[in-house]
């Protein structure tokens, strides 16, 4: 099974098979059976509509009732639980800018939705225009600030790469700039300017806090591609620390999520280890996700 999964990643990057053959192979590798006629028709419709995405095939299978009932491993849920555990360790900040932090359903945004236990007096959220947001168009109005009993949430629209162009943010200072699973969506060539802006807009003692997939582990799962087609780059912890240092930050805390030490050593993908690993670990190089807290030097 592990050899086939590695082959799946190689085929995925090399385009050596058709989209339909890719689906057939995914069923054989992940569900250990041939695809049924109903499933095949459904995927053919997706392919014909031009909406086919290879990583989405894997994600769809991994959260399917069949996969969960047979193998009992919900990879996406495990990752989410680990992030919920981590966010509870993040300190209280009174003024926060969350880049990429829109929620499709919750006005308070994805930081609060994830389980951040504190409440800022001001939470600004910068995300793409509503009809371009990653998780879908929000089901509420983002054009005006919303007052809660703990503070105000305001939405601003634009790209993280071009935060310096969002006029309304230029005079604001923050105790924390937060990026939850967002930095990997930023073009690497645009990241230095964005980090310069963040450093300049942090109040004294302010921090940049973010989490991101660990390429040391994601390359084992997807050796020929990134784990999400919208990702621009997935970093190793060392690579990311170098980026932070070059941008004038000092990393003050590192946290690993979903500890996968066996895969880190063997280099072989095994989804069963996700159910065995600790949700949080200091061994960041052997974790599927890592988080940094950093402050300007």
Structure tokens at 144: 């005006």
Residues 135-181 have pLDDT tens digits of: 889 999 999 999 999 999 999 999 999 999 999 999 999 999 999 99
Where residue 229 falls (left for φ over 0; alpha for ψ -120 to 50; beta otherwise) is: alpha
Q: Among 244, 272, 247, 248, which residue's Cα sits nearest to residue 260?
A: 272
Mind listing the pLDDT tens digit for each residue in 24-63? 988 988 888 899 999 999 999 999 998 888 878 888 888 7
Q: Is 100 exposed, middle or buried (0-12, 13-18, 19+ CB in 10 A)?
A: buried
DSSP for residue 92: P
How far apart are the C-alpha atoms of 36 and 100, rounded to whole Å?
Answer: 38
Contact residues for 85 (Cβ-Cβ < 8 A; gap 6+): 257, 279, 280
**Helical (H) or strand (E) element with 42:** helix 37-48
Q: pTM of the prediction?
A: 0.79
Instruction: Give the pLDDT score at 6.
Output: 41
Domains of the chain: 2-71 (no CATH), 77-296 (3.40.50.150)
* Distance in angstroms (rounded) separating the CA atoms of residues 61 and 38: 14
């Amino acid at each position: 099974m592990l050899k086939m999964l590695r082959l799946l990643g190689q085929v995925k990057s090399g385009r050596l098979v058709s989209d339909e053959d890719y689906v057939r192979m995914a069923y054989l590798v992940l569900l250990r059976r041939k695809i049924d006629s109903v499933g095949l028709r459904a995927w053919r419709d997706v392919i014909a509509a031009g909406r086919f995405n290879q990583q989405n095939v894997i994600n769809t299978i991994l959260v399917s009732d069949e996969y969960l009932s047979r193998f009992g491993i919900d990879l996406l849920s495990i990752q989410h639980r680990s992030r919920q555990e981590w966010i509870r360790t993040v300190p209280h900040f009174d003024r926060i800018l969350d880049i990429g932090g829109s929620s499709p359903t919750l006005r308070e945004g994805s930081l609060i939705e994830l389980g951040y236990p504190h409440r800022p007096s001001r939470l600004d959220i910068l995300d793409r225009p509503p009809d371009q947001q990653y998780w879908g168009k929000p089901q509420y109005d983002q054009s005006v600030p919303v007052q809660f009993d703990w503070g105000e949430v305001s939405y601003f629209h634009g790209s993280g790469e071009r935060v310096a162009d969002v006029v309304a943010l230029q005079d604001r200072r923050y105790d924390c700039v937060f990026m939850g699973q967002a930095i990997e969506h930023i073009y690497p060539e645009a990241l230095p300017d964005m980090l310069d802006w963040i450093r300049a807009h942090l109040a004294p003692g302010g921090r940049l806090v973010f989490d991101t997939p660990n390429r040391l582990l994601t390359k084992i799962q997807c050796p020929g591609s990134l784990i999400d087609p919208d990702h621009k780059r997935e970093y190793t912890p060392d690579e990311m620390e170098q980026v932070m240092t070059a941008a004038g930050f000092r990393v003050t805390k590192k946290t690993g999520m979903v500890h996968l030490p066996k895969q880190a050593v063997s280099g072989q993908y095994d989804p069963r280890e996700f159910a065995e690993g600790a949700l949080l670990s200091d061994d960041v190089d052997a974790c599927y996700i890592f988080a940094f807290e950093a402050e300007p030097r």
